[in-house]
Amino acid sequence: MIAKIICYALNGLEGIPVEVEADVNKGVPSYDMVGLPDTAVKESKERVRSALKNSGLLFPMNRITINFAPADLKKEGAAFDLAIAISLLKASEQLLGADVKDIVFLGELALTGDIRPINGLLPILISAKSHGFSKFIIPAENAEEARYLGEAEVYPAASLSEVVRHLVGMQPIPPIEMKEFVPGRHRRASADLKYVKGQPIARRALEIAVAGGHNMLMSGPPGTGKTMLARCLPTVMPDLTFEEALEITKIHSVAGVLGEEGIVSERPFRTPHHTATTVSMCGGGNKIVHPGEISLAHGGVLFLDELPEYKRSTLEALRQPLEDGCITVSRAGGTFTYPARFMLCASMNPCPCGNYGSTDRTCTCTPAEIRRYRRKISGPLLDRIDLQVEVDNITYDDLTSEDSSEDSASVQKRVNAARRIQRARFEGSSIHTNAEMGEKEIQEFCTLTREGDKILRDAFERMKLSARARARIIKVARTIADLDASEEIQPKHVFEAVSYRLFDKG
Amino acid sequence: MYSSEEKAVIYAAAVKGMNNRAGLAFLRGEGVLRRLTREEEAATDAAIAALERQGMFLVTCLSKDYPELLRNASDPPLLLYGMGNRELLSRRKFCIVGSRKTPKFAMEAGERIARELAEHFTIVTGLAEGGDSAAIEGALPSGSLISVLPCGLDTCYPAMHASKKETIARKGLILSENPPGKGAAKWSFHYRNRILAGLSEGVLVLSAAKSSGALITANRAVDYGRDVFALPYSIGIEQGEGCNELIRSGAMLVTSAEDILSFYGIETKKKEKPVVEGDEGRILQYLREKGESHVASLAEDLGMRIFEASAALSALEIKGLATKTGGNKYAAL
C-alpha cells in the first residue's frame, strides 16, 4: 500500500512542500530511500526504526521504498523524521481510520519515540499556510514559535505515540492557543539611556541616527561607554510591528537562535567579535546557507566594536548589504537571499593608544601609526556612515552625579514623531527613512535655502569636506529638521549636521 | 644656459660627487673653478640634459639667482636641485616649520598665517605632516611656496606625500641639495634644516617638543642671524614646550600674520570681519574668557541646549573664528 504525507523543506526563508511517499510491498525485507535525501535524512532510517519499536508500534518487515517529491530538490536535515514514520505507519496499515490528508508533519525523532524541536519552524508554517495548509503537527518544544501564526490548527506533540493516539482519535491533542503580538513583551530592561552618564553629544547623535535610520560611528578613548551607548540603540528605536517581528523571527528561527519566547519582540542587537569571518558576518555554509550576523541584525542594530580591528575584507563585504538591505549568498546547495536591513553602529579609538586629540593626555602614536589605523576603514565604508561623533572622556563627577539623564522612552517618543513625518514624506515609495534617500529624493525633499546653501559652500572650503560628504550632511540635516518638526531645513540644522562629520575634515 | 664657472661646479658636484657642504672657500682653494676639458664638459652637459629630462634644473652657488641670504650663510650647499617655479628663489622668503604632531589649533593658526604671509613672502617649509603640512595648505593656493626635501627630488619622504610633492612642483618649487635617487637618511634632515633657515629672513615655529627638528631649524636660524618667531602655548602641552622655550630666550611671540608683517614693516589691509549672529557672539566671548571648553559645560554655563551650542560652534568653525580641538572641546582662534 502507498501512503502520502506532506512535510516541508526550507530554502532560505522560504518553505517548500515535500511529499513523503512510502510503499510497503511483499518481498525480501529492505529499506530504500530515493529523491535526493542527504546524510541526515538517510540516517533517519535508524531513528525511525527505533522510534517505532519503542513506541510500541511495528516496523514492517517488508520491502519498503520511501520517495521524496519533488525529486530534484535536495532534502536536508532531520525535520522529515516524523513524516517518514507516519507514512510508514499509514502504508503498513497501522493507522486505520486516521485521516492524514492535508496535515503537515514536522519534527525530528529520538530513538525513544520522543519528538525533538526543529530549526526554521516559523518560516515553514508561514509558507505552508500561504500554500493553503491549515493543520500542522509540530514538536511540542517549538509550540511558542507557532503561537503567532494566526488562524490555523497547530497540534504540539511530544512523542510519536501521542501523534498516533491523536490521529486515530483515541486521545486528541488540544490545538495551541494563538497569542496577540505585543512589542517589547520580552524586553530585557538592562539597557536604558537613563543609566548613561554624561555624553550629551553622543546621546543627541544617537537620537538623530535612530530618527533618520542613519548609520553611526563613535570615536573616543577606551572605557568611555561607547558600548553602553550602542546597547541603548534598540531601546529608542520604534517598536516592532507584527510583520517586522515575524520576518525577524523567521531569520532567527532558521539560524536556530530563537529564544524561548517563540517570537522576537525586541529589535535585535548583534555584536559579532572582531575576529568574525566574512562568512559568519554575511552568511554561508557548506551546502545550505545559514544567515550571517547582518541578517540576524535585520530590523535592529549591528554593533561593531573597535571597527579597525575587523578584517578589511569583512568590512568591505558589508557595503553591498548596507546599500541593498539584503544579502545574496551562492553555494553548491543553491543561491539564498536573506534580508539584512540593519542599522550599523561602530566604535573606534581615535588612534591605537586611544589618546589622540585629547588635550590632557599625550598620544604616544606616531602619525604613521595613526594613519595606518584609520586607513583600515575604507572611504566607501565611511561614506555609508552618516554620523560620526566623538565620545567624551568621562570624569569622576559624571559617574557619581545624582541627576539621572533622560530615559529611552522619552527619546523614543521624539524618534517616533520624526519617523511619522518621514513615513508621510515617502508614502508610496520603497524608502522608509531619510538615510535611504538617493540623489532624486534629496533634490525633491531637501531643498536648501539660499542661506543654507551658502553655509554648506563655506563649510566645504573651510573644513575641506569631501564632495561625498555633501549628500550625507544634507540627509542628516533633513533628519534634524524633522526632529525639530520643521518643514524646511534651516541654517542651524545644517550647522549641526556639519558638526557630526569627523573624518571628512582634512 | 650655464656659464663655464657654473659648469665647473656642476661637474665637481654632480659628476664627480664633491661634498655639497664643502663650502665656498673650498671651491676657490681646491682648484675646482678651472676650465673643463672637452670630455669633462661633455659629461657635464650630459648630466644637465639628463636632469632636465626629469624636469629638474640646477642652481649653483655662483648662479645669479642663487638666494643671496643662503649664500651668506656659513655653510651653503654648492649645488641645489630644483623643480618648479625657479623665480621663487629670488623673492623674499619666510620659513614656517612645526613638529609632525602639531595640535589642531596650531595647525589652523599655521595655515592661516601661511596664507596671509604668502601675499608678501614665499613660504619655505619641508614636506612632513603636521606643521609643514599646515604651511603647505596655507601657501600652496597662491603658489608662493618652496618645499625643501631631505632626499633627491625624484624620491619622496614620507612616501604618502608623493602627490602633494608633485602639486608643489607644479604650482610652487621643490628644492634639494641631494642628487636624484638619494633617499632620506637621519642626518639629511639636519642638513635640510640648515637650508630652510638659510633661505629665509625669519622662521616661525608652530610647534616643537623639547627636542624636535623644528627647534634645530630655529637654532640654525639664530646661528645665521635670522629672526625667530613662535606660537605661544599653555602650560603642560608637550608639543609647545619648545616654542615656549624659544619665546623665553627671545623669540618673537606670534598669534597672527600681522605680528610678523608688522615686524618687517609691511602694512596690512584691514580684513573684513566675519558676521557673528545670534548666540555665536556670546559663545565666542565665552571661549575667549575660558579658553578651551567642552560643548556641554559651555552650553550649561550659557543656558543653551546642547545641540544649539553644537550648531553655533559649527557656525563659528566655518567662519574661522573657533576650532574643534578634540574630545568635543572647542577653542577660539
Q: What percent of chain A has pLDDT over 90?
A: 44
Residue B329, classified by CB atoms within 10 Å of its CB into exposed (0-12), middle (13-18) or buried (19+), is buried
> What's the CATH number for A193-394+405-435?
3.40.50.300
**Are B76 and B178 part of one and the same domain?**
no
**Are B77 and B102 part of one and the same domain?**
no
What domain range is B297 assigned to?
A: 278-332
Nearest CA in chain B to A218: B327
Please say which residue of B263, B288, B313 terminates a domain.
B263
A185 against A341, higher pLDDT: A341
Count of domains forming chain B: 3
Q: How many CB atoms sit inside 10 A of residue B311's CB?
A: 25
Q: Give the strand order in the sheet containing B322-326.
A: B293-294, B329-332, B322-326
**Are B172 and B300 part of one and the same domain?**
no
CA B172 to chain centre: 12
Nearest CA in chain A to B103: A357
Q: How far apart are CA B41 and CA A65, in angstroms?
A: 100
Please state the rounded mean pLDDT for residues A435-463: 83
Residue-wise pLDDT tens digits, A220-260? 887 788 888 999 999 899 988 888 888 999 999 888 888 77
Please say which residue of B231, B263, B295 terminates a domain.
B263
**Are B200 and B319 part of one and the same domain?**
no
CATH of the domain at B316: 1.10.10.10
Give pLDDT, residue A506: 40
**Are B226 and B189 part of one and the same domain?**
yes
Residue-wise pLDDT tens digits, A141-200? 999 889 988 889 999 999 999 999 999 999 999 999 998 888 776 666 678 888 887 788
Backbone φ and ψ for B9, nearest 5 degrees, come out as -65, -45
Confidence class for position A418, pLDDT limits 50, 70, 90: very high
Give pLDDT, residue A357: 65
CB contact, 8 Å: B290 with chain A? no
Give pLDDT, residue B211: 84
Residue-wise pLDDT tens digits, A354-366? 777 665 677 788 7
Give pLDDT, residue B123: 95
Q: Distance from A414 to chain B by nearest Cα, in Å?
A: 15
Give pLDDT, residue A396: 60
A378 against B200, higher pLDDT: B200
Confidence class for position A276, pLDDT limits 50, 70, 90: very high
Asked if residue B271 is part of any domain, the answer here is: no
Nearest to A173 by CA among A115, A259, A90: A115
Q: Do A495 and B319 touch (CB under 8 A)?
A: no
Q: How far apart are CA B309 and CA B321, in angstroms?
A: 15
Tell me the chain B residues in contact with residue A480 when contact means C-beta distances shorter than 8 Å: 307
**Are B125 and B251 part of one and the same domain?**
yes
Q: Which three cell numbers stand for residue A301?
A: 542594530
Nearest to A19 by CA among A142, A103, A89: A103
Give pLDDT, residue A172: 92
Nearest CA in chain A to B278: A492
Q: Is A179 left (phi over 0), alpha (psi -120 to 50) or beta?
A: beta
Q: Do A359 and B325 touch (CB under 8 A)?
A: yes
Asked if residue B70 is part of any domain, the answer here is: yes
**Are B61 and B112 part of one and the same domain?**
no
Give pLDDT, residue A420: 92
Q: Distance from A391 to chain B by nearest Cα, in Å?
A: 7
Q: Do B317 and A363 touch (CB under 8 A)?
A: no
Give pLDDT, residue B269: 73
Give pLDDT, residue B176: 94
Residue in B101, B136, B314 to test binding to A, most A beta-carbons within 10 Å: B314
Tell me the chain B residues in contact with residue A201 when contact means C-beta distances shorter than 8 Å: 295-296, 306, 310, 328
Q: Do A204 and B306 touch (CB under 8 A)?
A: yes
**Are B94 and B78 part of one and the same domain?**
no
Q: How far apart are CA B96 and CA B113, in angstroms?
A: 9
Tell me the chain B residues in contact with residue A393 when contact means C-beta distances shorter than 8 Å: 327
Q: Both ends of chain A: CA-CA distance in Å? A: 79
Give pLDDT, residue A402: 60
Please say which residue of B56, B84, B112 terminates a domain.
B84
Residue-wise pLDDT tens digits, A107-124? 999 999 999 999 889 999
> What's the CATH number for A2-167?
3.30.230.10
Q: What percent of chain A has pLDDT over 70?
A: 95
A322 against A198, higher pLDDT: A322
Q: Which of B237, B307, B326 sits opposite A496 (nearest CB)?
A: B307
What is the reported pTM? Answer: 0.77
Tell me the chain A residues in contact with residue B315 when contact means C-beta distances shorter than 8 Å: 455, 491, 495
**Are B39 and B97 part of one and the same domain?**
no
Give pLDDT, residue A400: 60
Whether residue A436 is predicted with pLDDT greater than 90 in this model: the reply is no
Residues of chain B with pLDDT under 70: 270-272
**Are B183 and B311 part of one and the same domain?**
no
Cβ atoms B117, B141 nearer than 8 A: no
Whether residue A127 is predicted with pLDDT greater than 70 in this model: the reply is yes
**Are B23 and B75 part of one and the same domain?**
yes
Q: Do the domains spanning A2-167 and A193-394+405-435 agree at the CATH topology level?
A: no
Domain boundaries, chain A: 2-167, 193-394+405-435, 437-506
CB contact, 8 Å: B119 with chain A? no
